[in-house]
Amino acid sequence: MLEAALSALLIVFDPTRLGIVAVGVAIGLSLGVIPGLSGIVGLSLLLPFTFDMDPFTALAFLVALQAVVATSDTIPAVLFGVPGTVGSASTILDGHPMAKQGLAARAFGAAFSASVLGGLLGALFLAFSIPLLRPFILSFGSPELLAFCIFGLSLIGVLSGGNPLKGLAAAGIGLMIATVGEEPNTAIERWTFGLLYLLEGIPLVPLALGLFALPEIADMAIARKRLSRGRDLAMGWGQLAGVRDTFRNLFLVLRGSGIGSVLGAVPGIGAPVIPWISYGHAMRTEKGAAESFGRGDVRGVIASESSNNAKEGGALVSTIAFGVPATAAMALLLGAFLIHGLAPGPDMLTSRLDVTYTLVWTVAIANVLGCAICLVFARQFAAVARIRPGILAPVVLAITFIGAFQATRQWGDLVALLGFGVLGWVMKRVDWPRPPLLLGLVLGGLLERYMFISFQRYGAEWLTRPIVVVVLLVTAYSLLKPVVSDLLRRRRQARSRLVLGFKPESIDTAAGFNAAVILFFAVAIIGSWNWDFGAKLVPQVVGWLGLLLAGWQLAWRTFVNAQAAAPGDPAAGAVAGSHVFDARSDLGDLDPHETRRRALRYFAWCLFVLVAALVIGLLPAVLVFLIGYLRLEGRERWLLTLSVALGTWAAAYGLFHLLLRVPWPAAWLGDLLPVLRSSGLTNLL
């Protein structure tokens, strides 16, 4: 093995091959910065260009691209609260508040250094674990995957902060949304309303961008103030402070990398879930995390980013050793293996060990190179936060719309983006956590699939399998520990008493949203009542639980008041307080009326993009939107307006139309022109 590793190192450090690896890194970093794009886009686009390369060069090129996408997706997550890829959504919770506090450079330094350490540890895991983990991973079946999904759902209690009722109800919304589409076992269409777009379910990309991107851009546009005015924003010392934070929390990096590597190697877990698991683990284990996470704690960034990069090395384990891709990107990489005459499996651990270690070295080199590039340019990235919101908001919004369209390349992606954008903004305003909703959607489909297979194949015996027992015990411990600790803490404090009575001041927007959630679950229960048992099981269970949780939350908020038993009793604050782990709105001293007026104007512009795209096409609509918003809302000069609008549009046209060859659906005007030509009206005009 040592001889093969040294031989592979010489192969990778061939100057030509190293240059191609650098090109792959540059492309991967570019894809990570743009919301909605991912390594899948780059791999599918560049796979044909590797046909004439030798296997070492081709695989090194593709692996280098995929390895660093999770490094640069931090940039939009920190600066704008926009996930570059779905895997960076957990980074927003602490990274974006740091940017608002003038600590964007520090967040970048911590994120990039944690990413490179996580990537290197993931490569180390790949190098040594394949022979050891082979029998372990081969023993995984649907019961074990179901247990991991249940463990993932246990994070909802953590991500709910001081109000688990809201978090669990929000997760119920996500689980219910996950049931949209054709049920795989009974072929019953659930909540599709006759729309072909919904037949395969709601795509994850427009939902994630809608929940997290549009509300953050909305706050930027409504507040009309720069993200941050911190002096250290564009200084290199801020990055070094972040790097020091990473090394001060080296044990957290090791734990996050371990979580990413191990879970990344398990097919079926889902890459978007892994950073949330690492974030939840850090929240449970780090001192003082319950009070500081979600408000700009650098440890939250470190936990998310270390696992986000480490999972790529772990995902290569199952792809190389068993020929089972752990993610969609690994499925494309598996195709590259077969194209170049390599058969994943025992041969990759024996006769083709040199290829395996070439990939190990490539992952390590790509992470180091990607981190170095990001650190060098972090000062420029951080300086973006000083751009006026009248310029920054429309540019980021335009890129978000085009990026969301990449999900399935249908108009439904844009409708879903706008709909979930409104939902995300309202949830943010009424202090309902959005992460549990996203986690519920990600895990919902997996949970239903593995539950059906486990019960059909094993009956109740799946609960007795050793790995399942261990995972469920860890899940039970993680759920019960904070509850028991809270009860003990409250007993040590002075006792508080509950006063029952109607509170008129509680009837506000938050109560209205809570009532809407109750109505949502009630409609879901009624709508799924007559379905076959297999199709209605999850909607009915989730619907009744969600109805109970949301109803309890509304009743508690409306009729229950916690008062201290003695003046100055700290228990009162403990009972009444609720810290939601989510990015908070910072709209300054704007009164509610002005906030609503500006919000309506912002979402009216979003609706304009959608309507204009249906009429004249998405790319022309983006250009018209940029010019209109910059001039009317940003009140910029014509020269600056045209420069920014045309520059952004030209970049989007070159990337998406010329390079990616996106098949834009025909707009109304495009359908109308052939009719006019055939009728002879164009000759009259």
The pLDDT of residue 568 is: 42
Q: Are 176 and 543 in contact (CB under 8 A)?
A: yes
Buried/exposed 392-420: b ≥16 CB within 10 Å, e otherwise: bbbbbbbbbbbbbbbbeeebbbbbbbbeb
Distance CA 404, CA 166 (A): 27
Q: Are 493 and 562 in contact (CB under 8 A)?
A: no
Rounded Cα gap, residues 654 and 188, in angstroms: 42
Q: In the predicted model, what is the mean pLDDT of the chain?
A: 79
Q: What is the pLDDT of residues 328-342, one digit of tens each?
A: 677 677 777 777 777
pLDDT in tens, 586-625: 666 778 888 889 999 999 999 999 999 999 989 999 999 9
What is the C-alpha to C-alpha distance for residues 618 and 634, in angstroms, rounded to an integer? 22
Tens-digit pLDDT profile for residues 102-112 = 888 888 888 88
Q: How far is CA 500 from the centre of its chain?
A: 41
- Report which of residues 378 and 546 the model is more confident about: 546
For residue 437, the model assigns a pLDDT of: 87
CB 147 within 8 A of CB 153: no
Domain parsing of the chain, residue ranges: 390-433+591-685
- Expressed in percent and rounded to 5, the helix, strand and coil fractions of the chain are 75, 0, 20
Is the model more confident about 277 or about 609?
609
Round to whole Å and give the CA distance between 91 and 73: 9
Which of 391, 271, 344, 299 has the alpha carbon at shortest distance from 107?
299
Residue 283 has pLDDT above 50, yes or no: yes
- Residue 416's pLDDT band, with cuts at 50, 70 and 90, is very high
Question: Which of 18-32, 190-204, 342-356, 616-630 has the weakest average pLDDT?
Answer: 342-356
Could you give the C-alpha distances from 205 to 83, 268, 403, 547, in angstroms and in order? 9, 18, 9, 27
Tally Cβ neighbours within 10 Å of residue 247. 12
Beta bridge mates, 190? 181
Distance CA 80, CA 7 (A): 44
Share of the chain above pLDDT 90, in %: 13
pLDDT given for residue 323 in this prediction: 63
Kind and range of the H or E run holding 76:
helix 74-80
- Scan for tokens 């009309």, then name that residue: 224
Consecutive H or E run containing 515: helix 509-527
Q: How far apart are CA 487 and CA 28, in angstroms?
A: 48
Share of the chain above pLDDT 70, in %: 79
Other CB atoms within a 10 A radius of the CB of residue 465 amount to 18
> Among 216-225, 415-424, 489-498, which is the least confidently predicted range?
489-498
Amino acid 429: pLDDT: 87
Q: How far is CA 156 from CA 166, 280, 440, in A?
A: 10, 9, 8
Q: What CA–CA distance (Å, rounded) separates 176 from 173?
A: 5
Listing DSSP states for 336-376 in one string gives HHHHTT---SGGGGTTTHHHHHHHHHHHHHHHHHHHHHHHH
The residue ranking higher by pLDDT, 10 or 618, is 618
What stretch of H or E contains 497?
A: strand 496-500
∠ CA 202-205-208, nearest 5°, is: 95
How far is Cα 358 from Cα 597, in angstroms, rounded to an integer?
Answer: 57
Maximal CA-CA distance, the chain: 87
Residue 63 · residue 359 · CB < 8 Å: yes
**Between 156 and 243, residue with greater pLDDT:** 243
Q: DSSP letter at 629?
A: I
Supply the angle between the helices 298-322 and 55-72 in degrees, to the nearest 10: 160
DSSP assignment of 256-320: HHHHHHHHHTSTTS-TTHHHHHHHHHHHHHSTTHHHHTTSS-HHHHHHHHHHHHHHHHHHHHHHH
Range with the poorest average pLDDT among 155-169, 216-230, 361-375, 439-453? 155-169
The number of angstroms, rounded, from the C-alpha of 89 to the middle of its chain's C-alpha atoms is: 3
**Among 321, 668, 170, CA closest to 313:** 321
Instruction: Compute the distance between CA of residue 401 and CA of residue 411 in angstroms, rounded to an integer.
Output: 11
Phi then psi for residue 192, to 5 deg, are -90, -20
